[in-house]
């Protein structure tokens, strides 16, 4: 499982997280895979592209899991 640190921020938007971790090459691609139901947050399909992901949540996409950490 990979990790993503919020570095002083309260949250990161789901589409930005996928792009910043390199799971999607562009924000547009991230929004597309989210809208198609390919992304899960804490085990549930998430369709909101700009969903606020906070510390201790786990995002899953394309066989990859990302644990979000406060810092």
Domains in the chain, ordered, with CATH? Answer: 2-69 (3.10.290.10)
pLDDT digits (tens, 9 = 90+) for 3-52: 999 988 999 999 999 999 999 999 999 999 999 999 999 999 999 999 99
pLDDT at 8: 87
Task: Provide the pLDDT for residue 2.
Answer: 93
Taking the C-alpha atoms of residue 56 and residue 66, their distance in angstroms, rounded to an integer, is 10
Q: What is the pTM of this model?
A: 0.92
The angle subtended at Cα 40 by Cα 51 and Cα 7, nearest 5°, is 55
pLDDT of residue 55: 96
Write out the two tokens for 34. 């989210």
pLDDT score recorded for residue 71: 78
- Helix or strand or coil: residue 12? strand
Say how many C-beta atoms besides its own lie within 10 A of residue 70's C-beta: 12
Q: Which of 16, 11, 37, 27 is nearest to 61 (CA)?
A: 37
**Can you name the residues that pair with 57 across neighbouring β-strands?**
none
């Amino acid at each position: 499982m990979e990790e993503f640190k919020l570095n002083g921020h309260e949250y990161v938007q789901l589409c930005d997280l996928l792009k910043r971790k390199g799971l999607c090459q562009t924000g547009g691609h991230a929004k597309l895979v989210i809208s198609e139901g390919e992304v899960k947050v804490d085990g549930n399909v998430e369709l909101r592209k700009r969903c606020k992901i906070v510390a201790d949540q786990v995002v899953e996409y394309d066989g990859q899991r990302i644990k979000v950490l406060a810092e």
